[in-house]
């Protein structure tokens, strides 16, 4: 397995409070685990909640996403029938208190998220980030890029998010991919809304697989994954999936990935690459239905299972 670069000095320099002061005690945690399975020392996965929606341009409500996903996750069965194991209690999942959303997008991602992710990675644990809008992602990618050599990003989204700035904000949700493209090459899947074709920053190419051209699972998935380096950060804007899967999202676009095409892509990623962090963003809970937050909680559980089963297979646990 590839090893992390040692980074304890970087972790000490990172902004923000000691991560142990942010840990949720008791059972109101992701997946409703018994508290002893959710301590920072015991857990291999650590979930950050960034209920931020300061730069949204259309539908509101993603600020309520993390709490709704956490609540839904407490109803998710912990046995994963694809990998045939209960990875969540086996490895443990630690829940952090939500970051305070009353700040700029830059402060949220490069302050709160980066500071916590840096400490999670330095402790040898796996960072999971739940949004909020997509502007929360860059800080988590940066923390991983500083710890893992040759990191690339698999970006599932309806929108390319590659504007240099939007409404004069370089940390807008519409600029999320432009920010992490500063550190990483990107493979984009599901895209069906963009300003123009972008090829990426120098030495950091962007490969885009539009939803229209790739409507079903097939050889294109392996081709897309072949562009990714050994270590990968996975960022999922739920609008990359079809609105029939995630109807509750800020800027829905028709014609996205089906549930099983999306899962197949993520399974193939985990079978062939070392996934070192992931996020699920842009869930906007809708009054009267729990479809979107439950789908997000289920997706989080599946990805935890895939990472545990395939990415960590070679490791002694």
- C-beta of 80 vs 157, nearer to Mn ion: 157
Residue closest to 209 by CA, chosen among 287, 274, 269? 269
Pairing of strands 204-210, 200-201: antiparallel
- C-beta of 175 vs 261, nearer to Mn ion: 175
Rounded to an integer, what distance in angstroms lies between the CA atom of residue 51 and that of residue 67?
A: 8
DSSP state of 244: T
Q: Using the rule CB under 5 A, is 163 a contact of Mn ion?
A: no
Rounded to an integer, what distance in angstroms lies between the CA atom of residue 76 and that of residue 144?
A: 28
- C-beta of 127 vs 190, nearer to Mn ion: 190
How far apart are CB 281 and Mn ion at their closest, in Å?
Answer: 8
How far apart are CB 220 and Mn ion at their closest, in Å?
Answer: 20
Q: Which of 53, 80, 133, 157 binds Mn ion (CB under 5 A)?
A: 157
First to last CA, the chain: 13
- C-beta of 96 vs 158, nearer to Mn ion: 158
- C-beta of 241 vs 312, nearer to Mn ion: 241
Q: Using the rule CB under 5 A, is 159 a contact of Mn ion?
A: yes
Cβ pair 108, 28 in contact under 8 A: no
Number of residues that bind Mn ion (CB under 5 A): 5
Q: Between residue 208 and residue 247, which ones bind Mn ion under the rule CB under 5 A? A: 237, 239
Cβ pair 249, 283 in contact under 8 A: yes
- C-beta of 157 vs 242, nearer to Mn ion: 157
Which window, 77-85, 154-162, 163-171, 198-206, contacts Mn ion (CB under 5 A)?
Answer: 154-162
How far apart are CB 159 and Mn ion at their closest, in Å?
Answer: 4
How far apart are CB 98 and Mn ion at their closest, in Å?
Answer: 21
Q: Using the rule CB under 5 A, is 253 a contact of Mn ion?
A: no
Cβ pair 245, 256 in contact under 8 A: yes
- On the question of a cis peptide bond just before residue 132, with omega within 30 degrees of 0, the verdict is yes
CA dist 190 to 1, 187, 236, 292, Å? Answer: 30, 10, 10, 18
Which window, 2-10, 69-77, 156-164, 181-189, contacts Mn ion (CB under 5 A)?
Answer: 156-164
Which window, 72-80, 151-159, 260-268, 294-302, contacts Mn ion (CB under 5 A)?
Answer: 151-159
Residue 178: CB partners within 8 Å, gap ≥ 6? 161, 162, 163, 164, 165, 170
Cβ pair 30, 68 in contact under 8 A: no
Residue closest to 187 by CA, chosen among 172, 203, 171, 207? 207
- C-beta of 115 vs 240, nearer to Mn ion: 240
- C-beta of 7 vs 251, nearer to Mn ion: 251
Which window, 58-66, 157-165, 284-292, 309-317, contacts Mn ion (CB under 5 A)?
Answer: 157-165
How far apart are CB 238 and Mn ion at their closest, in Å?
Answer: 8
Q: Using CB atoms within 10 Å of the CB of residue 85, give its burial: 0 to 12 exposed, 13 to 18 middle, 19+ buried.
A: middle
- C-beta of 30 vs 241, nearer to Mn ion: 241
The tally of CA atoms less than 13 A away on the side-chain side of residue 205 is: 6
How far apart are CB 148 and Mn ion at their closest, in Å?
Answer: 25
Residues near Mn ion (CB under 5 A): 157-159, 237, 239
């Amino acid at each position: 397995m590839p090893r992390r670069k040692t980074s304890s000095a970087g972790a000490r320099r990172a902004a923000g409070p000691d991560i142990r002061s942010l840990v949720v005690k008791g059972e109101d945690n992701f997946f409703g685990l018994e508290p002893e399975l959710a301590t920072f020392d015991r857990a291999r996965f650590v979930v950050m909640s960034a209920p931020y929606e300061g730069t949204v341009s259309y539908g509101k409500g993603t600020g309520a996403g993390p709490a709704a996903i956490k609540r839904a996750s407490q109803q998710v069965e912990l046995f994963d029938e694809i990998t045939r194991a209960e990875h969540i209690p086996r490895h443990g999942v630690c829940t952090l208190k939500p970051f305070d959303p009353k700040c700029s997008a830059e402060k949220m991602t490069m302050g709160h998220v980066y500071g916590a992710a840096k400490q999670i990675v330095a402790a040898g644990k796996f960072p999971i980030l739940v949004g909020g809008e997509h502007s929360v992602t860059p800080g988590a990618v940066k923390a991983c890029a500083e710890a893992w050599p040759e990191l690339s990003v698999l970006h599932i989204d309806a929108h390319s998010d590659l504007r240099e700035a939007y409404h004069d904000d370089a940390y807008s949700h519409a600029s999320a991919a432009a920010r992490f493209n500063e550190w990483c090459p990107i493979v984009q899947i599901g895209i069906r809304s963009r300003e123009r074709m972008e090829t990426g920053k120098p030495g950091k190419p962007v490969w885009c697989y539009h939803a229209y051209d790739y409507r079903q699972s097939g050889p294109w998935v392996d081709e897309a994954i072949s562009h990714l380096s050994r270590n990968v950060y996975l960022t999922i804007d739920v609008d990359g999936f079809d609105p029939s899967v995630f109807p509750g999202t800020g800027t829905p676009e028709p014609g996205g990935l089906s549930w099983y095409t999306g899962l197949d892509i993520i399974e193939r990623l985990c079978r062939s690459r070392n996934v070192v962090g992931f996020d699920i963003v842009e869930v906007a809970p809708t009054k009267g239905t729990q479809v979107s937050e439950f789908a997000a909680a289920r997706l989080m559980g599946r990805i935890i299972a895939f990472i545990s089963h395939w990415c960590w297979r070679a490791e002694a646990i």
